[in-house]
Amino acid sequence: MFNYTIRRLLLAVPTLLLISFLIFLLLDLAPSDPTANLPLTIPPEVREKIRISLGLGEAFHIRFLLWCKQFFYNETLNILEQWWGWDFGGDRLRVLSWQTRSPVVDTIVQRIPQTLWVVGMSYIVGILIAVPIGILSAYKQYSWFDQIGTFVSMVGYSVPTFFTGVLVIVIFSVWLGWFPSIYDTTLVVNDWSSFLQQVKQMIMPVSVLALYNAAQISRFMRASMLDNLNQDYVRTARAKGIRERSVILVHVLRNSLIPVVTVIALGVPQVFGGAIITEQVFKVNGLGQLLIIAIQAGDVPTVQTLTFIFAVLIVFFNLIADVLYGILDPRIRYD
Protein backbone atom coordinates (compact mmCIF):
# COMPACT_ATOMS: atom_id res chain seq x y z
CA MET A 1 0.00 0.00 0.00
CA PHE A 2 2.81 2.37 0.90
CA ASN A 3 4.66 1.69 -2.34
CA TYR A 4 1.46 2.07 -4.23
CA THR A 5 0.80 5.46 -2.63
CA ILE A 6 4.31 6.65 -3.38
CA ARG A 7 4.05 5.45 -6.95
CA ARG A 8 0.75 7.24 -7.41
CA LEU A 9 2.14 10.43 -5.92
CA LEU A 10 5.10 10.34 -8.27
CA LEU A 11 2.80 9.75 -11.20
CA ALA A 12 0.74 12.75 -10.11
CA VAL A 13 3.61 15.14 -10.82
CA PRO A 14 3.68 14.78 -14.61
CA THR A 15 -0.12 14.51 -14.61
CA LEU A 16 -0.48 17.83 -12.83
CA LEU A 17 2.12 19.52 -14.99
CA LEU A 18 0.20 18.40 -18.04
CA ILE A 19 -3.04 19.60 -16.48
CA SER A 20 -1.55 23.00 -15.70
CA PHE A 21 -0.37 23.27 -19.28
CA LEU A 22 -3.76 22.31 -20.64
CA ILE A 23 -5.54 24.78 -18.38
CA PHE A 24 -3.17 27.50 -19.51
CA LEU A 25 -3.67 26.56 -23.13
CA LEU A 26 -7.46 26.51 -22.79
CA LEU A 27 -7.50 29.85 -21.02
CA ASP A 28 -5.26 31.29 -23.67
CA LEU A 29 -7.45 30.04 -26.48
CA ALA A 30 -10.65 31.19 -24.81
CA PRO A 31 -11.93 34.51 -26.10
CA SER A 32 -11.47 36.56 -23.00
CA ASP A 33 -9.97 39.95 -22.44
CA PRO A 34 -9.06 41.35 -19.03
CA THR A 35 -10.03 44.83 -20.17
CA ALA A 36 -13.37 43.77 -21.64
CA ASN A 37 -15.36 44.73 -18.58
CA LEU A 38 -13.89 48.19 -18.29
CA PRO A 39 -16.20 51.04 -19.24
CA LEU A 40 -16.33 51.81 -22.94
CA THR A 41 -15.08 55.28 -22.12
CA ILE A 42 -11.58 53.88 -21.68
CA PRO A 43 -9.94 54.18 -25.09
CA PRO A 44 -8.35 51.22 -26.91
CA GLU A 45 -4.80 52.60 -26.61
CA VAL A 46 -5.15 52.62 -22.86
CA ARG A 47 -6.58 49.11 -22.95
CA GLU A 48 -3.62 47.95 -24.99
CA LYS A 49 -1.24 49.50 -22.46
CA ILE A 50 -3.08 47.76 -19.67
CA ARG A 51 -2.83 44.46 -21.49
CA ILE A 52 0.89 44.91 -21.99
CA SER A 53 1.37 45.86 -18.36
CA LEU A 54 -0.35 42.57 -17.46
CA GLY A 55 2.27 40.68 -19.44
CA LEU A 56 -0.02 39.77 -22.31
CA GLY A 57 2.54 41.04 -24.75
CA GLU A 58 4.74 38.01 -24.17
CA ALA A 59 4.55 34.81 -26.18
CA PHE A 60 2.45 31.95 -24.89
CA HIS A 61 5.29 29.69 -23.77
CA ILE A 62 7.04 32.53 -21.95
CA ARG A 63 3.90 33.34 -20.04
CA PHE A 64 3.38 29.70 -19.16
CA LEU A 65 6.92 29.19 -17.95
CA LEU A 66 6.67 32.43 -16.01
CA TRP A 67 3.52 31.23 -14.32
CA CYS A 68 5.18 27.88 -13.53
CA LYS A 69 8.12 29.66 -11.98
CA GLN A 70 5.95 32.04 -10.02
CA PHE A 71 3.60 29.35 -8.82
CA PHE A 72 5.82 26.34 -8.24
CA TYR A 73 8.96 28.09 -7.14
CA ASN A 74 8.26 31.58 -5.86
CA GLU A 75 5.02 30.75 -4.08
CA THR A 76 6.49 27.64 -2.53
CA LEU A 77 9.41 29.59 -1.15
CA ASN A 78 6.98 32.19 0.07
CA ILE A 79 4.91 29.62 1.93
CA LEU A 80 8.03 28.17 3.50
CA GLU A 81 9.08 31.64 4.58
CA GLN A 82 5.71 32.33 6.12
CA TRP A 83 5.38 28.99 7.88
CA TRP A 84 8.88 28.54 9.18
CA GLY A 85 10.03 32.11 9.37
CA TRP A 86 12.94 31.34 7.01
CA ASP A 87 14.28 34.08 4.86
CA PHE A 88 15.43 33.18 1.38
CA GLY A 89 15.92 36.79 0.54
CA GLY A 90 15.61 38.12 -2.94
CA ASP A 91 12.76 39.78 -4.70
CA ARG A 92 10.42 37.17 -6.05
CA LEU A 93 7.46 38.04 -8.23
CA ARG A 94 4.41 36.18 -7.05
CA VAL A 95 1.39 35.15 -9.11
CA LEU A 96 -0.54 38.39 -9.35
CA SER A 97 -4.21 38.67 -10.17
CA TRP A 98 -5.05 40.89 -13.10
CA GLN A 99 -8.09 42.25 -11.35
CA THR A 100 -6.73 43.08 -7.95
CA ARG A 101 -3.04 43.26 -8.85
CA SER A 102 -2.42 41.41 -5.63
CA PRO A 103 -0.99 37.92 -5.03
CA VAL A 104 -3.61 35.34 -5.97
CA VAL A 105 -2.47 32.96 -3.28
CA ASP A 106 -3.11 35.53 -0.56
CA THR A 107 -6.65 36.05 -1.79
CA ILE A 108 -7.20 32.31 -1.87
CA VAL A 109 -5.90 31.94 1.65
CA GLN A 110 -8.22 34.75 2.68
CA ARG A 111 -11.18 33.01 1.08
CA ILE A 112 -10.58 29.50 2.39
CA PRO A 113 -12.09 30.02 5.87
CA GLN A 114 -15.53 31.11 4.69
CA THR A 115 -15.63 28.44 2.03
CA LEU A 116 -14.65 25.73 4.47
CA TRP A 117 -17.05 27.00 7.09
CA VAL A 118 -20.05 27.17 4.84
CA VAL A 119 -19.43 24.65 2.11
CA GLY A 120 -17.47 22.26 4.31
CA MET A 121 -20.04 22.44 7.06
CA SER A 122 -22.81 21.81 4.57
CA TYR A 123 -20.93 18.79 3.32
CA ILE A 124 -20.58 17.42 6.83
CA VAL A 125 -24.19 18.18 7.68
CA GLY A 126 -25.21 16.66 4.36
CA ILE A 127 -23.34 13.45 5.14
CA LEU A 128 -24.70 13.31 8.68
CA ILE A 129 -28.24 13.60 7.36
CA ALA A 130 -27.74 11.43 4.32
CA VAL A 131 -26.22 8.36 5.91
CA PRO A 132 -29.02 7.62 8.40
CA ILE A 133 -31.68 8.50 5.84
CA GLY A 134 -30.04 6.22 3.30
CA ILE A 135 -29.81 3.39 5.81
CA LEU A 136 -33.39 3.71 6.98
CA SER A 137 -34.75 4.16 3.47
CA ALA A 138 -33.06 1.01 2.30
CA TYR A 139 -33.97 -0.97 5.38
CA LYS A 140 -37.59 0.04 5.10
CA GLN A 141 -37.69 0.05 1.35
CA TYR A 142 -41.02 1.33 -0.03
CA SER A 143 -42.23 2.38 3.40
CA TRP A 144 -43.67 5.88 3.79
CA PHE A 145 -40.32 6.96 5.21
CA ASP A 146 -38.57 5.73 2.11
CA GLN A 147 -41.13 7.38 -0.14
CA ILE A 148 -40.75 10.72 1.62
CA GLY A 149 -36.97 10.33 1.61
CA THR A 150 -37.04 9.63 -2.11
CA PHE A 151 -39.23 12.65 -2.72
CA VAL A 152 -37.07 14.97 -0.64
CA SER A 153 -33.92 13.68 -2.34
CA MET A 154 -35.48 14.21 -5.71
CA VAL A 155 -36.39 17.76 -4.75
CA GLY A 156 -32.97 18.42 -3.25
CA TYR A 157 -31.24 17.02 -6.27
CA SER A 158 -33.34 18.52 -9.01
CA VAL A 159 -34.26 21.92 -7.64
CA PRO A 160 -31.28 24.19 -8.22
CA THR A 161 -29.72 25.96 -5.26
CA PHE A 162 -30.28 29.37 -6.81
CA PHE A 163 -33.98 28.63 -6.47
CA THR A 164 -33.97 27.11 -2.99
CA GLY A 165 -31.48 29.76 -1.88
CA VAL A 166 -33.63 32.66 -2.96
CA LEU A 167 -36.71 30.90 -1.63
CA VAL A 168 -35.30 30.55 1.87
CA ILE A 169 -34.03 34.13 1.75
CA VAL A 170 -37.48 35.40 0.85
CA ILE A 171 -39.10 33.30 3.58
CA PHE A 172 -36.62 33.60 6.43
CA SER A 173 -35.03 36.98 5.74
CA VAL A 174 -37.69 39.02 4.02
CA TRP A 175 -40.89 37.66 5.56
CA LEU A 176 -39.80 36.37 8.92
CA GLY A 177 -36.64 38.38 9.37
CA TRP A 178 -34.93 35.56 11.28
CA PHE A 179 -31.64 35.36 9.43
CA PRO A 180 -29.51 37.86 7.53
CA SER A 181 -29.71 37.53 3.76
CA ILE A 182 -26.14 38.68 3.30
CA TYR A 183 -23.24 36.80 4.77
CA ASP A 184 -20.80 38.90 6.74
CA THR A 185 -17.34 37.57 5.97
CA THR A 186 -15.70 40.03 8.33
CA LEU A 187 -17.49 38.70 11.40
CA VAL A 188 -15.00 37.63 14.04
CA VAL A 189 -16.28 34.99 16.41
CA ASN A 190 -14.91 35.88 19.82
CA ASP A 191 -17.85 35.62 22.17
CA TRP A 192 -21.20 33.99 22.58
CA SER A 193 -23.21 36.64 20.74
CA SER A 194 -20.89 36.74 17.74
CA PHE A 195 -20.98 32.96 17.70
CA LEU A 196 -24.77 33.07 17.61
CA GLN A 197 -24.59 35.60 14.82
CA GLN A 198 -22.24 33.33 12.89
CA VAL A 199 -24.62 30.42 13.37
CA LYS A 200 -27.52 32.57 12.22
CA GLN A 201 -25.84 33.65 9.05
CA MET A 202 -24.65 30.13 8.29
CA ILE A 203 -27.98 28.39 8.76
CA MET A 204 -29.49 29.25 5.40
CA PRO A 205 -26.54 28.66 3.09
CA VAL A 206 -25.51 25.55 4.98
CA SER A 207 -28.97 24.02 4.91
CA VAL A 208 -29.54 24.81 1.25
CA LEU A 209 -26.26 23.20 0.29
CA ALA A 210 -26.64 20.38 2.79
CA LEU A 211 -29.98 19.48 1.25
CA TYR A 212 -28.30 19.24 -2.12
CA ASN A 213 -25.37 17.20 -0.81
CA ALA A 214 -27.61 15.00 1.32
CA ALA A 215 -29.84 14.27 -1.65
CA GLN A 216 -26.95 12.84 -3.61
CA ILE A 217 -25.28 10.94 -0.81
CA SER A 218 -28.48 9.51 0.64
CA ARG A 219 -29.46 8.06 -2.72
CA PHE A 220 -26.04 6.55 -2.97
CA MET A 221 -26.20 5.21 0.56
CA ARG A 222 -29.62 3.74 -0.04
CA ALA A 223 -28.60 1.99 -3.23
CA SER A 224 -25.48 0.62 -1.63
CA MET A 225 -27.45 -0.62 1.40
CA LEU A 226 -30.02 -2.29 -0.83
CA ASP A 227 -27.24 -4.03 -2.72
CA ASN A 228 -25.88 -5.46 0.47
CA LEU A 229 -29.15 -6.15 2.27
CA ASN A 230 -29.98 -8.80 -0.29
CA GLN A 231 -26.62 -10.49 -0.03
CA ASP A 232 -26.43 -13.97 1.38
CA TYR A 233 -24.03 -13.01 4.10
CA VAL A 234 -26.77 -10.90 5.64
CA ARG A 235 -28.97 -13.97 5.79
CA THR A 236 -26.02 -15.83 7.24
CA ALA A 237 -25.67 -13.18 9.91
CA ARG A 238 -29.34 -13.47 10.76
CA ALA A 239 -29.08 -17.26 10.80
CA LYS A 240 -26.22 -16.90 13.25
CA GLY A 241 -28.70 -15.25 15.55
CA ILE A 242 -27.04 -11.85 15.50
CA ARG A 243 -29.12 -8.93 16.78
CA GLU A 244 -30.88 -7.09 13.97
CA ARG A 245 -29.10 -3.88 14.93
CA SER A 246 -25.77 -5.59 14.61
CA VAL A 247 -26.78 -7.21 11.36
CA ILE A 248 -27.56 -3.80 9.90
CA LEU A 249 -24.86 -1.73 11.53
CA VAL A 250 -22.01 -4.22 11.52
CA HIS A 251 -22.58 -6.40 8.52
CA VAL A 252 -24.62 -4.38 6.08
CA LEU A 253 -23.51 -0.86 6.92
CA ARG A 254 -19.81 -1.60 6.97
CA ASN A 255 -19.98 -3.14 3.55
CA SER A 256 -22.29 -0.49 2.19
CA LEU A 257 -20.07 2.30 3.38
CA ILE A 258 -17.14 1.26 1.23
CA PRO A 259 -18.41 2.84 -1.98
CA VAL A 260 -20.09 5.70 -0.09
CA VAL A 261 -16.90 6.63 1.72
CA THR A 262 -15.01 6.78 -1.54
CA VAL A 263 -17.73 8.89 -3.10
CA ILE A 264 -17.56 11.21 -0.12
CA ALA A 265 -13.79 11.44 -0.44
CA LEU A 266 -14.08 12.20 -4.14
CA GLY A 267 -16.53 14.97 -3.30
CA VAL A 268 -14.17 16.79 -0.96
CA PRO A 269 -12.39 18.76 -3.73
CA GLN A 270 -15.77 20.20 -4.60
CA VAL A 271 -15.93 21.60 -1.10
CA PHE A 272 -12.77 23.55 -1.77
CA GLY A 273 -14.06 24.48 -5.17
CA GLY A 274 -16.79 26.21 -3.29
CA ALA A 275 -20.37 26.32 -4.31
CA ILE A 276 -20.36 28.97 -6.97
CA ILE A 277 -24.09 29.53 -7.09
CA THR A 278 -24.83 29.25 -3.40
CA GLU A 279 -21.93 31.52 -2.58
CA GLN A 280 -23.32 34.08 -4.99
CA VAL A 281 -26.86 33.79 -3.65
CA PHE A 282 -25.82 34.28 -0.04
CA LYS A 283 -22.88 36.56 -0.77
CA VAL A 284 -20.50 34.24 1.04
CA ASN A 285 -17.71 35.26 -1.33
CA GLY A 286 -15.66 32.12 -0.98
CA LEU A 287 -13.47 30.36 -3.52
CA GLY A 288 -16.36 29.67 -5.88
CA GLN A 289 -17.23 33.34 -6.08
CA LEU A 290 -13.56 34.16 -6.55
CA LEU A 291 -13.39 31.79 -9.48
CA ILE A 292 -16.52 33.01 -11.20
CA ILE A 293 -15.55 36.66 -10.83
CA ALA A 294 -12.10 35.90 -12.14
CA ILE A 295 -13.58 34.12 -15.13
CA GLN A 296 -15.91 37.02 -15.84
CA ALA A 297 -13.09 39.51 -15.58
CA GLY A 298 -10.75 37.47 -17.77
CA ASP A 299 -8.34 37.29 -14.84
CA VAL A 300 -6.23 34.46 -16.20
CA PRO A 301 -3.67 34.14 -13.35
CA THR A 302 -6.44 33.73 -10.78
CA VAL A 303 -8.41 31.28 -12.90
CA GLN A 304 -5.27 29.34 -13.72
CA THR A 305 -4.10 29.17 -10.12
CA LEU A 306 -7.51 28.26 -8.73
CA THR A 307 -8.28 25.60 -11.30
CA PHE A 308 -4.83 24.18 -10.86
CA ILE A 309 -5.29 23.96 -7.10
CA PHE A 310 -8.63 22.24 -7.71
CA ALA A 311 -6.86 19.83 -10.04
CA VAL A 312 -4.31 19.07 -7.34
CA LEU A 313 -7.08 18.45 -4.85
CA ILE A 314 -8.96 16.22 -7.26
CA VAL A 315 -5.87 14.15 -8.02
CA PHE A 316 -5.04 13.96 -4.35
CA PHE A 317 -8.50 12.96 -3.20
CA ASN A 318 -8.74 10.40 -5.95
CA LEU A 319 -5.67 8.86 -4.43
CA ILE A 320 -7.19 9.12 -0.96
CA ALA A 321 -10.34 7.43 -2.22
CA ASP A 322 -8.33 4.62 -3.72
CA VAL A 323 -6.29 4.17 -0.56
CA LEU A 324 -9.43 4.26 1.56
CA TYR A 325 -10.94 1.62 -0.65
CA GLY A 326 -7.89 -0.53 -0.10
CA ILE A 327 -8.07 -0.04 3.64
CA LEU A 328 -11.79 -0.64 3.92
CA ASP A 329 -12.16 -3.51 1.51
CA PRO A 330 -9.90 -6.45 2.28
CA ARG A 331 -10.53 -7.85 -1.17
CA ILE A 332 -8.52 -5.00 -2.68
CA ARG A 333 -4.76 -4.99 -2.39
CA TYR A 334 -2.61 -2.67 -4.43
CA ASP A 335 0.75 -4.35 -4.29
Partner 1 sequence: MSETSAAPLVSIEGLKMYFPIHAGLFRRHVGDIKAVDDISLEIFEGETLGLVGESGCGKSTVGRATLRLYDITAGSITIDGTNTSKINQADLRRFRPRMQMIFQDPQGSLNPRMNVADIVGEPLDEHMSLSREERLARIHELLDAVGLNRSFANRYPHEFSGGQRQRIGIARALALNPKFIVCDEPISALDVSIQAQVVNLLEDLQKKFGLTYLFISHDLSMVHHIADRVAVMYLGKIVELASRDQLFNSPLHPYTQALLSAVPEPNPARQNTRVHIVLKGDVPSPSSPPVGCNFCTRCPKAIDICHHVEPATIEIEPGRFAACHLLESTTKVA
Partner 2 sequence: MKALLLGAAAIVAMASPTLAERGSDGELKIIYWQAPSTMNPYLSGGTKELEAASLVLEPLARYDEGGNMVAWLAESIPTVGNGGVSADLKTITWKLKDGLLWSDGSKVTADDAVFTWKYCSHPEGGCAQSEKYNDVTNVEALDELTVKVTFGVSKPFPYGPFVGAQAPLLQAAQFADCLGTKAPECTDANFGPIGTGAYKVTEFRPNDVISLAANTHYRDAAKPAFATVTFKGGGDAAAAGRSVLETGEFDYAWNMQLAPEVLAGMQAGGKGEIVSAFGTLVERVMINMTNPDPALGDERATAKHPHPFLSDINVRKALSMAIDRDLLVEIGYGDAGKPSCNVLPAPEIYKSTANDGCLVQDVEGAKKLLTDAGWVPGADGIRQKDGVRLSLLFQSSTNAVRQDFQALIKQWWGDIGIETELRNIDSSVFFGGDPGSPDTFQKFFADVEMYANNFDGTDPESYMANWECKQAPRPETQWQGNNMPRYCSEDYDALVAEMAKTGDLMERARLAKAMNDKLMQEYIILPLVDRGRVSARSNALGGVVMNAWDSELWNAADWYRVK
User: Under rule CB under 8 A, how many of the chain's residues touch partner 2?
Assistant: 56
333 CB neighbour count, 10 Å cutoff? 9
Contact with partner 2 (CB under 8 A) among 289, 304, 305, 307 = 289
57 CB neighbour count, 10 Å cutoff? 11
Contact with partner 2 (CB under 8 A) among 2, 14, 44, 84 = 44
Give, as ranges, the residues between 231 and 270 that touch partner 1 (CB under 8 A).
Answer: 231-233, 235-244, 246, 251, 254-255, 258
Is residue 279 within 8 Å of residue 289, measured between CB atoms? yes
- Closest CB to partner 2 among residues 48, 244: 48
- Closest CB to partner 2 among residues 55, 326: 55
Does position 43 interact with partner 2 (CB under 8 A)? The reply is yes
Amino acid identity at 181? S
Give, as ranges, the residues between 246 and 265 that touch partner 2 (CB under 8 A).
Answer: none
Provide long-range contacts, Cβ within 8 A and 24+ apart, for 317-321: 317/265, 317/266, 317/268, 317/269, 318/266, 319/5, 319/8, 319/9, 319/12, 320/265, 320/268, 321/262, 321/263, 321/265, 321/266
Measured distance CA(68)–CA(282) in Å, rounded: 34
Considering CB distances under 5 to 8 angstroms, the limit depending on partner class, which of partner 1, partner 2, none binds residue 161?
none
Measured distance CA(251)–CA(245) in Å, rounded: 9
Instruction: Find the shortest distance in angstroms from Cβ 138 to partner 1.
Output: 16
- Closest CB to partner 1 among residues 102, 246: 246
Based on its alpha-carbon atoms, the radius of gyration of the chain, rounded to whole angstroms, reads 24
Binding residues for partner 2 (CB under 8 A): 31-33, 35-47, 49-54, 93, 96-97, 99-103, 106-107, 110-111, 166, 169, 173-174, 177, 180-182, 184-186, 280-283, 285, 289-290, 293, 296-298
